[in-house]
Amino acid sequence: MSDLILAIYRTQNAAFAAGQALAVFQRAAGTEAEDIVVVTRDASGRVGINQSIDLATGNPLGGGRWGAMIGLLFLDRRKPQPGAKGLAAQLGAVGLDEKFLQEATKALGKGGAAVGMRVRLLGRDRVVEKLTGMPGSPKILWTRLDPDTEDALIDMQGQIPEAALDQPAGHDAF
């Protein structure tokens, strides 16, 4: 089992600082690298996904698939309806908590950003404590992923093309 944690910030600078602090926290704890992502929404409403990068390899930490999956949470702002086929409905259908999903899809305002992370080894409480102690007064959302939901989300990640995980030139990463 693991937890999916989102920290919603009003400014992108605060979110990037929090993402960097989480990466340092993770390294200091000596745990296996977890994928950390900063999802931004610009003034026009466009969503950007900024992965944490392993400086030694240049690849996203944790393979990048969880970061891409977290970014998908912010693309479909519609409320999941029974029988719907949008992203939010598909994520709900595999077992992602409906309340968490509804809050996440609506949380990211224009000009804002969110830090997202799947947490296994660091522990939810330690990560939430770290985030709430940072500047920017983030709104914290989290949900527990039971083994079946986690497996279904991993299966969905398998459908994300490798090209979507590559960082385009000039794309912010931390």
Look up the pTM and report it.
Answer: 0.81
pLDDT digit string, tens, across residues 109-136: 899 999 998 888 778 888 898 888 888 8
Name the band, by pLDDT with cuts 50, 70 and 90, for residue 168. Answer: very low
21 belongs to a structural domain: yes
167 belongs to a structural domain: no
Kind and range of the H or E run holding 9: strand 2-9
Residue in the structure block whose two tokens are 């409906």: 98
Gap between the Cα atoms of 66 and 116, Å rounded:
9
169 belongs to a structural domain: no
- Other C-beta atoms closer than 10 Å to the C-beta of 2 total 20
Query: What backbone phi and psi angles, to 5 degrees, belong to 86?
Result: -70, 175
173 belongs to a structural domain: no
Across residues 90-99, what is the average pLDDT? 85
User: In this predicted structure, what is the pLDDT of residue 161?
Assistant: 63
Name the band, by pLDDT with cuts 50, 70 and 90, for residue 139. Answer: very high
106 belongs to a structural domain: yes
Tokens at residue 68, please? 């891409």
Gap between the Cα atoms of 64 and 69, Å rounded:
9
Query: What backbone phi and psi angles, to 5 degrees, belong to 39?
Result: -105, 125
Q: Which range of residues forms the domain containing residue 56?
A: 2-160
Buried/exposed 28-42: b ≥16 CB within 10 Å, e otherwise:
eeeeeebbbbbbbbe
170 belongs to a structural domain: no
172 belongs to a structural domain: no
Report the helix count and the strand count for the chain, using DSSP H and E.
7, 5
10 belongs to a structural domain: yes
Q: How many domains does the chain have?
A: 1
164 or 124, greater pLDDT: 124
User: In this predicted structure, what is the pLDDT of residue 145?
Assistant: 92
